[in-house]
Structure formats: structure tokens, C-alpha cells
Amino acid sequence: MYTAEASVNVSASPQTAWEYVSNYQNFDQFMPSIQKIELLSGDTSEWHLSGPLGIPVSWQAITTIKEAPQHLAWHSTKGMIDHVVQRPASHARAGRREARGVAARRAGRC
């Protein structure tokens, strides 16, 4: 399995940051490769990205953990991304929160 990780410091309260990142419709504002995320039903969504070399990448995902204001995770049901977890880092400085995302790609899929 391949993984990628990114983080950013955010000057906001945990609740404010949670309200922003737990809304998938905001993802294209801080993840430039996302073209759109469609909410299909309940906790199911469909993601459309511009992958390497501009190749379109899509998958469906189910939200598996939604614990405000700390932990958001989902896994794919169709497509190449296995799971993503977002949560604040425990070592963030006072007054600032670090949002961290980790994505894992299933081996053998392109």
C-alpha cells in the first residue's frame, strides 16, 4: 500500500476548523486537485480529482468516523483510494491547530 501525508497549521478554534473540513464541499478550496465531491446518500460520496498528468481519478467513499471536532475518516467502496484520516495533531502550538490528512492507495491499482 502506498501512502501520502500532508499537514497545515490553521489559526482557528477546533470547532471552526471542524465545521470547515467536515464539509466535503469545501475540499476543493484547500485541495487543488479535487474537481468535485458529490454527496450521494447518507455517508456515501463520490470524489472526482485530477490525478497525475491530469488523468481523471474517481472513487466512491463511505464516511467511517465522524467525531467532532477531532477525527474524520472514510474508505473507498469503488476506486483506487483505500482510506483517508483527518485529525488535528496533538503537538500543535497553543492557539493553532494542525490539520493532518493521510491517504492510502491500494497496491496494484493505477
Condensed to tens digits (0 to 9), the pLDDT of residues 41-87 reads: 889 999 998 888 888 888 898 998 888 888 888 888 876 555 555 55
pLDDT for res 38: 94
How does residue 8 score in pLDDT terms, banded at 50, 70 and 90?
confident
Q: Is residue 36 part of a domain?
A: yes
Q: Is residue 69 part of a domain?
A: yes
Give the Cα separation of 31 and 48 in Å (integer). Answer: 12
Q: Is residue 37 part of a domain?
A: yes
For residue 93, the enclosing domain spans 2-105
What CATH number is associated with residue 100? 3.30.530.20
User: How many domains does the chain divide into?
Assistant: 1
In this predicted structure, the answer to whether residue 108 has a pLDDT above a threshold of 60 is no
